Amino acid sequence: MDKDQIPSVAEVLGQGDSQIIGITGSPTTTIKITIDIKEESKLGRILGQMVHFVVEEDRQKILVVGQVISIETQNRWHEDSTFKGVIRLHGKLPHLSGRADNRIAEISVQATYSIVVGSHSEARMLGTSPSTGIEVRKMSNQLMAALMKTYDNDVTYMGHVYGTEVHMPFWFRHFGKNDPAPEGRRGAGDAHHIGVFGKSGSGKSVTAAYMLMGYAKNSKYMNILVLDPQKQFSLNKDLPNGLDLEVKVRGYGMEFKKYSMLDDLCLPGSEHELFSSLLMKKGFIRRGFGITTEDKDLAASIAIASYLSHRYEVSEGKRCDLNRMNTNYSQSLMEETLGKFIENSGDNEYMRMVYAKGTFRDDKVRIIKEVLDSEDKRNSLYAQYWAPVMQYFMATKTDGTGRKTIDDIVDEIADPNKGGRFIVLDISSEKEPLISENVRALFVRLIEERIKRAGEECYAEGKRLNCLIVLDEAHRFISSESDDPQIKSFTKGIIDSVRTTRKYGIGYMFITQTIESLDKEILQQTRIFAFGYGLTLGTEIRVISNIVNNEAAIQLYRSFIDPSSTNRYPFMFYGSVSPLSFTGSPLFLEVYTDPADFK
């Protein structure tokens, strides 16, 4: 329906054709409303329903919108200790069991709007608790459309109100200021950090994809980088049939690009420690030095990194920049590096870092000399061990085509003057056994550090970036308890970033199977949460309870059914994610399974 054809809230309410489910009861506050369910509604589905009623405040009619988050049956005769004995002996109470039941529901207030005839409804806060006896009605799509008419250009629909067919509105605002132009979009004014949580099969990938499509509508204003360790978003894996993320994103006016970490991007040319550690894993040191023990293997790796870094620093980056290598220079560098270990003069004596003087050291010097003196051995060592590692760093591939650097990617994303770029970076390593989790953690850390640095520079110039960084499978890279130095380093860096980058206009989206994997500091800085099925055990549900601080909402979340048995993906959203969530109460929905419903 055209926006101009949508009736006003007052007109929809005047029709009075939505179903009455009950009346306001007692006790009631401005954020929690008790409803007494009417007899004709007690057998229908009520839990999860979006409902509304009208109160009068300061001589103005106010529409209150809320969601039913709990319901219970009360029967005072069944609660009477005298009758419990009768029930124990004879079963139900004639004329009292069932007939004397009262069903009491609790509404969590989501939003309140002033009703102005002939004008748009305006959001406002409820100033006093509602009176008892007010009719409470089910929300309809017609009334929802009328309420969202004001926000029509900013609203995204990605699911139904939990257990209903009513479309739930969301807004995924860019991180800048409001654009006052007729077709301009609202901005949040600040960057948001986002968490999407759920066990495998909960629908978190679908939900995250829909959220990214919502943010992609801000094509004029923001850039998005997705770090994709499982090809979820680069190959549309585990997304509903018919959902092509690239097609959708391009449809919103964004430039969509996909890069692979090793095929299209080279590893940083100044990361000599990474280079030497990969040489060690490949077996270069054991073959070239004749080393057989792990401690000496590691010591030689450190010595190689020290030598290459020293050459890089004294030349101010003109030498030993691994991104600038070609085949001839690469083999020469291997030979020069090996040669450095057999010199006997001063600071260049890198073999001292591996072995003290003696038989073992002399034996390794002899082995290296044999390699350097034999063209066949040099070529074999280079082809089998050195070249396969160097190819990860070279800016030019063997077929002559170029690779991008990390700085190239950062320049595209961290541009305060141009939005509209959506980049999916495939950081999987299915075909590359050398690229372990810690190497990918280092790669992600380097990207994150450079984007943060770009944000600092823009902020110093009075500008702000407007970009979202998405990290799928975040639990694989963020862990304060990890023994891996790269993962620990990245975790420390990301904790520092979430504290500081919001003012730079940089937001993070963490997609993960477990909320426990994220450090407490990250959770404290997160503004939008999406909780899917399965996080109901142990410390996870306690963490969620502390975040939401609404026991009835937690009980409704606990009642979610496994999506594998229903083909429905229930989620609890918490935070500033909808025009209906400005009271801070959680929202419950079922994410669309048909991508055609997304709008």
**Chain segment 387-399, per-residue pLDDT in tens:** 999 988 999 877 7
The predicted-structure confidence for 465-493, as pLDDT tens digits, reads as follows: 999 999 998 888 887 777 777 778 888 88
Q: Which residues of 328-347 are buried (b: 16+ CB within 10 A; e: fewer)?
A: eebbebbeebbebbbeeeee
d(CA 475, CA 517): 5
pLDDT at 351 over 50: yes
Q: Which residues of 360-393 are buried (b: 16+ CB within 10 A; e: fewer)?
A: eeeebbebbeebbeeeeebeebbeebbbbbbbbb
Q: What average pLDDT is seen over the chain?
A: 88
The predicted-structure confidence for 378-433, as pLDDT tens digits, reads as follows: 999 999 999 999 988 999 877 778 889 989 999 999 998 888 999 999 988 766 66
Q: In the chain, what's the furthest Cα-to-Cα distance?
A: 104
Domains of the chain, earliest start first = 3-152 (no CATH), 186-265+404-597 (3.40.50.300), 272-390 (no CATH)
Phi first, then psi, for residue 356 (nearest 5°) are -75, 170
CB of 145 closer than 8 Å to CB of 433:
no
Find the DSSP H helices in 514-591.
520-525, 538-548, 551-558, 563-566
The predicted-structure confidence for 111-170, as pLDDT tens digits, reads as follows: 898 887 766 677 788 889 999 999 999 999 999 998 888 888 899 999 999 989 999 999
The predicted-structure confidence for 291-318, as pLDDT tens digits, reads as follows: 989 999 999 999 999 999 999 999 888 8
d(CA 559, CA 533): 9
Query: What sign results for the dihedral spanned by CA atoms 206, 207, 209, 213?
Result: positive
Element (H, E) at 260: strand 255-260
pLDDT at 2 over 70: no
Cβ neighbourhood burial of 394 (10 Å; 0-12, 13-18, 19+)? buried
Collect all residues with Cβ–Cβ distance below 8 Å to 317 and sequence separation of at least 6: 270
Neighbours of 243 (CB within 10 A): 19
CB of 336 closer than 8 Å to CB of 348:
no
Region class of 493: left (phi > 0), else alpha (psi between -120 and 50), else beta: alpha
d(CA 494, CA 508): 9
The predicted-structure confidence for 538-591, as pLDDT tens digits, reads as follows: 889 999 999 998 898 999 999 999 998 888 999 999 998 998 887 778 999 999
